Structure 1
Amino acid sequence: MTATIVGRGRVGRALAAAFEAAGITVTGPTVRGESVPDGDLILVCVPDAEIARVIATLGDHPGLVGHVSGATSLADASADFSLHPLQTFAGSEGAEAFHGIGCAVAGRTPAALEVAEELAIRIGARPFRIDDAHRAGYHAAASVASNFLLTLLDAAEQIAATAGLSDAEARELLAPLVRSTVENWAAQGAPGALTGPIARGDERTVDRQRDAIQVGAPDLLPLFDVMAESTRTLAARRGVSA
């Protein structure tokens, strides 16, 4: 199998390394606008807003054309298949970055879907099918789990700063708590993993926390209130105190 990767972003570079390690002959990653040679497949790894335009510039290539967007439909992009690694990339990952992760796949034909699934398996990922009708919901779940988590952790850093901790100290001290929480969530689900004052029904402590945020980080108070109320709902699903 031969593959051309268009786009030198984090995902494109990581996939190029993974494909090569899997025995796939890779051309690229190429810069957008460069000529794209013929091959078995072309994988477009560019921002969502540019996918359709880039694919339109490819012309009549004999191979299949795919993209790596989780949210963009095959029809909107005029793509044959899609391959969306359910992972976050920092830019320095090697081929092993895909080992064991989920990978959403789709294809406009059974043959294209089979190619997407084969690619996922060859780089060590676990393919699962997401059709165009459910892409937005799937991608929203991924954004909440990854991007929104970082928003909350940044808020935690800001609140920790009001207690005299530097950003580096806050990350060092809170990281083990975050890792343990995520591991417990993975094993038990959110209701079973929930601990803390809201889970215990200790609203007096929650009020103290809110007062501290109102004084030290008032911009974060709306976020705290929304999260506290959502956590009360979660605690009610739990059914027992912790």
Structure 2
Amino acid sequence: MNKRKREYKILMIGAGNLGGNLLPVLLKKFDSVKIINRNKLGNKELKKIYKLNIETNYNKDDLKNSDVIIFCIQDRYIDGVFKKIINSGINLKDKYFIHFSGSLSSEIFKSNKVNKSNVISAHPIQSFAGWKRNGDVLFRNITMGIDGGENAFALIKYIFKEYKIKYLKINPKDKTLYHIASVIASNFLVTQFHLIQKVIKKIGLKQLNSFDIFEQIILTTLGNIKNKGIKDSLTGPVKRGEMQTIKNHKKELKKKLPVIYNYYNLMTGFTKEIK
């Protein structure tokens, strides 16, 4: 492929939460970006903002004309779509394949019909809860977990050059554990607030939002972890060895919120490891 990277033709399959925020990144770097997205309502919004021709299905010409094929679809669909492309009869040796899944490695693109140096998994460690016009700011200063070929990695660095991304190289065999850490950092953090909400509702504060109540202690704790590290940021009854307080907590949970009892017990055990 003798084209300059700017001239690469991009075929992006899927334009949901991640894809919608990725789109402005791609439009700044490439002259030709084609979007395939089955969500007609989402397509309407994207067309309005970006004046793009978005289609619900790709064809052989789309595959033939593209230089880079980007997958922004749910993990469960990537393998099936890739296999269809592999069996399309198109010469794929010079094409790049990129997906942004946290749990799947670049080995999902394993095939003797593609150049292994041109495939990559590039997972942004970021939360994409919907997309917006200037969603590319969500990529700024983040860490991205990557595994794949050198050519594809060079392309990723070109795409995100202005975003000051830190790259974390992941061994494909460790991708599931890496994703577990990401889930704990983001998804389970949301679950924590769900549990806090359960507790404050139990004491009659139904109208209040758990984040509004605990915002300052949360932000201070995060700041402490960043500046002091995990061990020196721990406070509370476990740190102080107040076992009677912990027993009182457990007794109250058993009586009033048994659904949280096992969670509290487990987290207390992990907290003792820090102390």
**TM-score scaled by structure 2?**
0.77
1:9-33 CA deviation, whole Å, 9 max, x = no partner? 100111112222x332352431256
Aligned partner (choices 13, 20, 35) of residue 58 of structure 2: 35
Aligned twin of 2:3: none
| Cα contact 1:157–1:167 (8 A) shared by 2 | no
Mapped to 2, the partners of 1:28 and 1:125 lie a distance apart of 25
Mapped to 1, the partners of 2:166 and 2:197 lie a distance apart of 34
Mapped to 1, the partners of 2:206 and 2:34 lie a distance apart of 42
Aligned partner (choices 178, 201, 209) of residue 169 of structure 1: 209
Gaps of 5+ in 2: 1-5, 39-55, 111-115
Aligned twin of 2:25: 18
1:156-187 CA deviation, whole Å, 9 max, x = no partner? 11112112222643221012222221221122
Structure 1 vs Structure 2 CA RMSD: 2.1
Superposition map of 1:62-211 within 5 A: 62-78=94-110, 80-93=119-132, 94-107=135-148, 109-166=149-206, 168-211=208-251
Mapped to 2, the partners of 1:53 and 1:119 lie a distance apart of 26
Number of residue pairs matched? 233
What displacement does 1:57 show? 2.3
Compared CA separation, residues 216 and 77, structure 1 to 2 (3 A): farther
Worse overlay, 74-83 or 180-189:
74-83
| Cα contact 1:82–1:116 (8 A) shared by 2 | no
SS at match of 2:141: coil
Mapped to 2, the partners of 1:169 and 1:150 lie a distance apart of 13
What displacement does 1:193 show? 0.8
Mapped to 1, the partners of 2:150 and 2:220 lie a distance apart of 41
Q: Percent identity?
A: 22
Q: Give 1:55's aligned amino acid.
A: F
What displacement does 1:41 show? 0.9
Aligned partner (choices 5, 28, 34) of residue 12 of structure 2: 5
Worse overlay, 90-99 or 117-126:
117-126
| Cα contact 1:4–1:29 (8 A) shared by 2 | yes
SS at match of 2:12: strand
What displacement does 1:188 show? 2.1
**TM-score scaled by structure 1?**
0.87
